[in-house]
Structure formats: C-alpha cells, structure tokens
Amino acid sequence: MYTTLLTEVRDGICIITINRPDKLNALNRTVMAELDQAVAALIADPAVRGAVITGAGPKAFVAGADISEFVGLSVEEGKALAKKGQDIFARIEQSPKPIVAAVNGFALGGGCELAMACHFRIASDLAKFGQPEVNLGLIPGYGGTQRLTRLIGKGRATELIITGATIDATRASQYGLVNDVVSPEALLEKTLSILQVACGKAPLAVAHSIAAINASYEPGGFAAEIEGFGACFGTEDMIEGTAAFLEKRKAHFQGK
C-alpha cells in the first residue's frame, strides 16, 4: 500500500515504520505524503485506538528532511515546503488518538521535529536528538523552533539550534524531551505497553485530554479545558466510568 512506510495493526495499535533505512529514513516528499495518509487513515479507522511511529533499521529514527530535495529551491518554494511539513506534523499533534514516537536512533532535523509532533517520546539508549539545520545554512522548518522551545525551554533550545549540537538519550531525558529510555530490544514493547494503558481508557476522554493539552500553548487553553471537561459529561463513557467506580467494578468503555 505504501512505498516508504510499513504499517501493521497490533491489538488495536497501528505501528508505522518509516522504511528508507539506506537513507537513514530521511523524509522525502513521498515519505511525508504517505505519513500524512497513514495518519489520516488511522484516525478514521475505528479499529485503531493509537499509534507508534518508529524508523526501520538499527541506526535511525529519521535523520532529517531529505537534503537532496532542498537543492535549487527558491525562497517561496522553501516557505511552501515548511508550510506543508508543518501542516502534516500538525495533523499528528492534533490526532484525537495518541501517537507516540519510539525513537530508535538518530532523530535529527525533521526527525526530531517528527518525534516532537508526536504526543510523547520513548527512546532507545542509542537515540540521538538534534536540530543540525544550521550546518546547512538553514533553520528548522517543520515546527522545531516552536516545539523544542516548548519542550525543553528557550535557553536549551537556542543552544541546540544555533550550535547544531546533538544530544544523547540520557541528556534528552534530563531535558524532558523523552519520557523514558530503554534498551533497543525493549523499545517497541515498552511504547506499546504504555499505549495499551491509554487505549484501555475512555477514548473520548483521551481525545479531549489531547485537545486541551495542545491548547495549553494558546491563549484559550483554560477555556478549552472547560469545553473538554463539559463535553465528557455528554458521553456514555463518563456515565459508565463513574457508575463503575461507585459500583466497584471495571468500566467498559465504548468510545461513545
């Protein structure tokens, strides 16, 4: 179905593997278009409750946007490329179903930006993170200046972006860029196990949580939380969840 992605649904969780290992899974136009399709498809598929994004091969999650596609672009074409990349990554961030990055190696440039667009990140101890665009005479264009600053703070983000430095998984964990660091062998199972917990909860409450958390970066964040909290009172799952607690039984959520 896809030429640059592998997809598999395991126990209701879609595993998307970016599959260009000979190019360290660099994000060319085809990967970006297919990633966008795959995310749209999992959002629309009622059998899928969450997703993992990872990279093929032992070396890289994603080593960046495909640099060969930058050659000869005009200022307007550069802007259009950034806009398109930002739109695709925004769809990931705004997914009502949780999408987690399992970072198995280099997450550089667009790869770090892709990981940051996911709802959170689990890393293998081989992972390396950075925004090395300055080495190419560029700046991050797929949301990196914004999401890295939000995730690790302005001082650390500025240092990383203007030096182009790469940090290892331990440092990324200290910075709060990743939630956990595990061995490469344990990475996928660890990521799936966290997602399984979230996917056992009320799907609409998970979706409203993600939307309200995303809104924390906007002026209306607290108002968005009020809307989401209120909307949950109109769901069957909230009636079921509260009743199950009071009746001392396990809740059975339907996503309604």
Active site residues: 113, 133
Helix, strand, or coil (residue 16) = strand
C-alpha 27/C-alpha 142 separation (Å) is: 11
C-alpha 78/C-alpha 240 separation (Å) is: 50
- Give Cβ neighbours of residue 231 (< 8 Å, ≥ 6 apart): 204, 208
Residue 67, beta-bridge partner list: none
Which segment (7-15, 101-109, 146-154, 237-245) binds ligand COA by CB under 6 A? 101-109
Which segment (22-30, 36-44, 183-191, 222-230) binds ligand COA by CB under 6 A? 22-30
- Give Cβ neighbours of residue 210 (< 8 Å, ≥ 6 apart): 94, 95, 96, 98, 119
**How many other C-beta atoms are found inside a 10 Å radius of the C-beta of residue 38?**
20
- Phi, psi (degrees; rounded to nearest 5) at 13: -115, 125
Q: Do 162 and 132 form a contact (C-beta atoms < 8 A)?
A: no
Among 5, 14, 18, 24, binds ligand COA (CB under 6 A): 24
Q: CA angle, 109 as apex, 107 and 114 as ends, to 5°?
A: 65
| String marking each residue 67-86 x if it binds ligand COA according to CB under 6 A | xx------------------
Among 50, 55, 64, 143, binds ligand COA (CB under 6 A): 64
Among 14, 63, 172, 192, binds ligand COA (CB under 6 A): 63
Which segment (45-53, 132-140, 155-163, 239-247) binds ligand COA by CB under 6 A? 132-140
- Phi, psi (degrees; rounded to nearest 5) at 30: -65, -45
53 binds ligand COA per the rule CB under 6 A:
no
> Which lies closer to ligand COA via its Cβ, residue 25 or residue 235?
25
Q: Residues binding ligand COA: what is the number (CB under 6 A)? A: 17
Classify residue 217 by its DSSP letter: G
> Which lies closer to ligand COA via its Cβ, residue 23 or residue 171?
23
132 binds ligand COA per the rule CB under 6 A:
yes
Among 35, 108, 117, 198, binds ligand COA (CB under 6 A): 108
106 binds ligand COA per the rule CB under 6 A:
yes
Which segment (131-139, 212-220, 229-237, 248-256) binds ligand COA by CB under 6 A? 131-139
Classify residue 178 by its DSSP letter: -
Among 13, 15, 18, 26, binds ligand COA (CB under 6 A): 26
Residues at the site binding ligand COA, with contacts judged by CB under 6 A: 23-24, 26, 63-68, 106, 108-110, 132-133, 135-136
